[in-house]
Amino acid sequence: MDRWVKAGVVENRFEGDRVSQALDETQIPFLIKSFLDTAYDGLYIPQKGWGAVMVPEGFRDEAEKVISEVKRSFRKEEEMSLNSMDEILRFAIRKEADAAAFYHMAADRSNPGVRKTFEELAKEEEGHKEKLEVLDLKKIDQIELKEVKGLGLSEMMEDVPYSPEMSYADLLRMAIKNEEKSQHLYTSSAKIVKEPKLEKLFLILAQEESKHKVRLEKIYDEEILKEF
Ligand SMILES: [Fe+2]
Ligand SMILES: [Fe+2]
């Protein structure tokens, strides 16, 4: 009898349903374990994932393929449905609030040295939220866009689901992955919108999220990777 192993993470119930359906169709035995019971003080943790998809080890490769295919098409649909400027903005505002909440939580759980960084990041995410709430398209022209170069660490990292017992290294990894996702969200939003100023706003936000990512990657590099 095969051991049960994790073949992937689903982000929400809907994605869970779609993955279940696809795995049913391919006749792969599976089980979805929800993370909800371990949520931090009932606070919704952004992008921690909704549940783990478990399959017998022998089915893992096949299941991974099915899951990533479902996710790809799911994400595409999700992007398409964000068609009005209003919807995109509301969505982004919520994401920023989630990100700020995440960094406050991370600050609470970190030693004083890093706490400051997490608090600063929380503040900046709150700043993003306010920027979106009182959107002044006139000021956007004055902001210059520069490309931000990362250390390439996030691309090599796996998604990290939230758990209350997670280590400091995992917390950093989760933060880096969150920033990577925010950056992607804004880059793809920039592609969808027609209004050039709004497009620029999204590119600015994408740039800020990549700065966050780089900042965290440097901390990770200094404090985790160099330890070994
Ligand atoms: Fe942000
Ligand atoms: Fe950020």
Helices (H), the chain: 13-25, 60-81, 85-108, 112-133, 168-192, 196-223
Burial of 45 (0-12, 13-18, 19+ CB in 10 A): buried
How confident is the model over 48-58, as pLDDT tens digits?
Answer: 567 889 999 99
CATH number of 4-78: 3.30.70
pLDDT at position 152: 82
Domains of the chain, residue spans: 4-78, 84-227
Give me ligand 2 centre to Cα 206, in Å.
Answer: 9
How confident is the model over 19-35, as pLDDT tens digits?
Answer: 999 999 999 999 988 77
pLDDT at position 39: 47
Q: What's the mean pLDDT in 130-136? A: 81
pLDDT category at 44 given cuts 50, 70, 90 is very low
Is the confidence at residue 130, as pLDDT, over 80? yes
Looking at 62-66, 117-121, 153-157, 180-184, which range is the least confident one?
153-157
Say how far apart CA 141 and CA 192 lie, in whole Å.
19
Give me ligand 1 centre to Cα 164, in Å.
Answer: 23
In order of 13, 104, 124, 185, the CA distances from 43 in angstroms are 17, 11, 20, 22
- For residue 179, the ligand closest to its alpha carbon is 2
Beta strands at 31-34 and 4-10: parallel, antiparallel or unpaired: unpaired
Q: Do domains 4-78 and 84-227 have the same CATH topology?
A: no
Give me ligand 1 centre to Cα 208, in Å.
Answer: 7
Q: Which CATH superfamily is domain 84-227 in?
A: Ferritin, core subunit, four-helix bundle (1.20.1260.10)
Q: Which residues surround ligand 1, an ion (CB under 5 A)?
A: 96, 125, 128
Give me ligand 1 centre to Cα 205, in Å.
Answer: 7
What is the average pLDDT value for the chain, to the nearest integer?
A: 83
**Residue 16 contacts residue 41 (beta carbons within 8 Å):** no
pLDDT at position 80: 58
Q: Is 31 helix (H, G, I), strand (E, B) or coil?
A: strand
For residues 36 and 73, which has the higher predicted lDDT (pLDDT)?
A: 73
